[in-house]
């Protein structure tokens, strides 16, 4: 009796001590994450909820928010500028596959042992770290119809270049080329890391089995870099759907006939030039939903075709 009583009191004491220890740890853990969690609630979650609510109101940012139901959304779907900026935004995403292809080829070339690899990596990465504002200013000048770098280079091979940013048909390609130029170093770096992580023995074994260069690419390199491609496509689409700085600096009025205006640029206009905050909030909600759907779809497709190396 006595013994068992002692035993229970001892376990109880241990339990108390243990729970005290846990309580200490919980408290410390809680305090350590508290600041970012508060930041998230204050600066992301609450504004997001306000934005969601504001999209159903006629808010102008100063006055009251009057609930007007789905009116903003109805107007939005009939707003030809909204559709145009949305299609512009997607149009400019054709730069994504082009950029990925170029960076993959560059990475393949650099993955062979060539002289000055570090220098190449640094050179291709310089545009990535450069400020988008400065780069946009630089390219705006490079696209100058009469004296810009681009047309002078074209002139060398006998092509008379257009006034890139003033032409409906060339303003989007101009922005795409610049975006590819700026982003290629980043994708290349990731591809390079992925390619170099493939064990050499795979290629040697494949070669012994008589696999052609294309087969080696198709069945070894491609599956190995697939996760990187997936990551890059997802992040590029998320980034590409928020294109703003380039457009705002290079074509401050949205380009000829709104040819380069993107959704975020239009949202910005509506919110901070026209003070139609409710309407702009509706645009931002639609944009957020589009981004979410595309990302979820990609995750779904990637899961179905995922490939694991044992």
Partner 1 sequence: MIAPLLWMISTSLKDKSGVFSLPPQWIPDPFITDAYTRLFELDQLWSGVKNSIIVSFSVTIIGTITSSMAAFSFAKLRLPFKNMIFLLLLIGIMIPYPSIMIPQFVIFSKIGWVNTLLPLIVPGMFGNITMIFFLRQYLSNVPDSIVEAAKIDGANYFQIFSKLIVPAIKPAIAAQFILWFMGAWNDYLAPLLYLNSPEKQTLQVVIANLNASYAIQTDYPLIMAASVISLIPVLTIFIIFQKQIIESVALSAVKG
Q: Which is nearer to partner 1, 256 or 288 (CB)?
A: 288
Distance CA 202, CA 269 (A): 54
145 binds partner 1 (CB under 8 A): no
Dist. CA 83–CA 86, nearest whole Å:
5
Q: Contacts with partner 1 in 53-72 (CB under 8 A)? A: 54, 61
CB of 10 to partner 1, least distance (A): 20
| Both structure tokens of 28 | 């410390």
Asked if 249 interacts with partner 1 (CB under 8 A), we say yes
The residues in 176-205 that bind partner 1, with binding defined as CB under 8 A, are 181, 186, 189-190, 192-194, 197
203 in Cβ contact with 220 (< 8 Å): yes
Output the CA torsion sign for 268, 246, 165, 104. negative
- Tell me the longest C-alpha to C-alpha distance in the chain: 105
Instruction: Indicate the residue among 155 and 204 with the shorter CB distance to partner 1.
Output: 155
CB nearer to partner 1: pick between 232 and 259: 232
Rule CB under 8 A: choose which of 98, 108, 127, 211 binds partner 1: 127
Fill in the per-residue mask, 269 to 308: x = in contact with partner 1 (CB under 8 A), - = not in contact.
Answer: --xx----x--xx--xx-xx--xx--x-------------
Q: Identify the CA nearest to 111 among candidates 190, 19, 176.
A: 190
Please identify, using beta-carbon distances, which residue of 51 and 108 lies nearer to partner 1. Answer: 51
Contacts of 210 (CB under 8 A, 6+ apart): none
Q: Which of 10, 16, 45, 70 touches partner 1 by CB under 8 A?
A: 45
- Report the C-alpha gap between 60 and 192 in whole angstroms: 49
In the list 25, 66, 159, 218, the residue contacting partner 1 (rule: CB under 8 A) is: 25
68-90 b/e with 16+ CB inside 10 Å = b? eeeebbeebeebeebebbbebbe
Among 1, 2, 32, 64, binds partner 1 (CB under 8 A): 32
Q: Does 83 bind partner 1 (CB under 8 A)?
A: no
* Residue closer to partner 1, measured from CB, 45 or 105: 45
DSSP state of 114: -
**Which residue, 125 or 203, is less far from partner 1 as judged by CB?**
125
């Amino acid at each position: 009796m006595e013994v068992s009583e002692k035993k229970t009191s001892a376990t109880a004491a241990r339990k108390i001590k243990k729970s005290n220890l846990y309580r200490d740890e919980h408290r410390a853990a809680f305090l350590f994450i508290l600041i970012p969690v508060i930041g998230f609630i204050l600066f992301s979650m609450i504004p997001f909820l306000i934005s969601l609510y504001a999209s159903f109101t006629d808010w102008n940012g100063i006055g009251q928010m009057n609930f007007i139901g789905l009116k903003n959304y109805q107007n939005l779907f009939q707003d030809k500028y909204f559709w145009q900026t949305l299609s512009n935004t997607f149009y400019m995403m054709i730069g994504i596959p082009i950029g990925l292809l170029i960076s993959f080829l560059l990475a393949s070339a650099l993955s062979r042992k060539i002289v000055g690899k570090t220098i190449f990596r640094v050179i291709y990465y310089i545009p990535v770290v450069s400020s988008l504002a400065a780069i946009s200013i630089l390219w705006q000048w490079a696209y100058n119809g009469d004296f810009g770098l681009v047309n002078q280079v074209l002139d060398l091979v006998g092509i008379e270049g257009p006034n890139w940013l003033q032409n409906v048909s060339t303003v989007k390609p101009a922005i795409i080329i610049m975006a590819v130029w700026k982003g290629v170093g980043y994708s290349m770096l990731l591809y390079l890391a992925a390619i170099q992580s493939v064990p050499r023995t795979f290629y040697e074994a494949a070669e012994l089995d008589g696999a052609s260069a294309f087969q080696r690419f198709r069945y070894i390199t491609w599956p190995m870099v697939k996760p990187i491609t997936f990551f890059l496509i997802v992040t590029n689409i998320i980034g590409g759907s928020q294109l703003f700085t380039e457009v705002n600096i290079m074509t401050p009025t949205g380009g000829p006939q709104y040819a380069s205006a993107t959704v975020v640029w239009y949202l910005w206009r509506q919110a901070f030039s026209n003070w139609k905050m409710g309407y702009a909030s509706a645009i931002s909600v639609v944009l957020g939903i589009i981004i979410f759907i595309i990302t979820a779809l990609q995750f779904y497709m990637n899961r179905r075709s995922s490939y694991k190396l044992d």
